[in-house]
Amino acid sequence: MKHLAVIILVLLLIPSGAQALTFLGGDQQVIDTPIPDDVVASGGSVTVSAPVDSLTVAGGTVRVDAPVAGDIIAAGGTLILNGDVGGKVLAAGGEIELNGNATNALVTGGTVRIGEDAVIERDAFISAGEVTNAGSVLRNLTVSGGTFSNTGTAGNVTFEEQEEPGPLLPGLFSVLLAIGFLILGLILIRIFPDLFAAVVRQVEGSPILLTVLGFVAIVVSAIILLIVAVTIIGLPLALVGGLLFIVALMLSSLFVAYALGDVIASRAGWKPGRAWIFVLGFVILQILIFIPLLGAIVQVVAVSLGYGGLLYALRSVCPFRAGGGGA
């Protein structure tokens, strides 16, 4: 489920009108002919031995032996990236090897190794139990891990040793909090279906644009509230505005969860009720959020995307159309 969730998140971030995509699935996937396209692949074993434009992949074992012109987003038990990458590498897995060149690398896993011939042209951020750098990172190498061996080179090295896992209570609290938001989302879908429809339509229509605009809007909103709060006259207004701001941030990821479920259901040809669409998207989104390191990125993207969609939707609330029939 964790591997599949990575691909599902990418589906949400692809505008609905996108055409340049090649989907591959199956137990054993081998790409041995060049594909001048963005490839999304999944399987028990995935091997890439011919050039592709970009690669989003999930599998038990993933091996990339050919150049990738753009970015690689990968998740799996074992990831071996031997080919050069024209863009960044975003990877999560059990055992990960980076043996080719890349612009940036953001990696989390059990064991991560940067090979001797690897060159990261800018920055690398790695979070893992065991980290080895035998290659070259031209700018910043930031490592959070249990052990770190650095026999290679880097412009600037930062190592933060991971602390021992805390008690079960924080994890239990996170699960209970997630259940609370799940119930809240189901209630809001019943009470405000038009609002959900309007936001979901915005989110599915322009996800990348709204993510950027939403992030900027969050920062600007916070600054404005602080400026208003400085004055005695504006303090009550800032308190009310701050409360609405917090509520909007809390609800943002719920809209994205519904949009994610709607995208999955639509692509699968499944037509469940509104509630089941929301539950599907919410569960997948929470799985992504609970993944170390990647979860923080997903959280920021989800809140920014939902906030941007909410601001756009508030201009004109439309009848509920996304997701099909009733619950």
Give domain limits for the chain: 2-161, 169-313
pLDDT, tens only, 293-323 = 677 788 888 898 888 888 888 766 544 444 4
Tell me which of 295 and 52 has the higher pLDDT.
52
Residue ranges in the chain assigned as alpha helix (H): 2-13, 169-191, 193-205, 207-230, 235-268, 274-290, 294-313
CA dist., res. 59 & res. 78, Å (int): 8
Three-class DSSP category at 43: strand
Confidence of residue 14 (pLDDT cuts 50, 70, 90): very low
Tell me which of 194 and 132 has the higher pLDDT.
132
Number of other CB atoms surrounding residue 65 within 10 Å: 15
pLDDT, tens only, 178-224 = 788 888 888 888 888 877 788 888 888 878 888 888 888 888 888 88
End-to-end CA distance of the chain: 24
**Is 86's pLDDT higher than 90?**
yes
What is the mean pLDDT of the segment spanning 80-89?
A: 95
pTM: 0.53
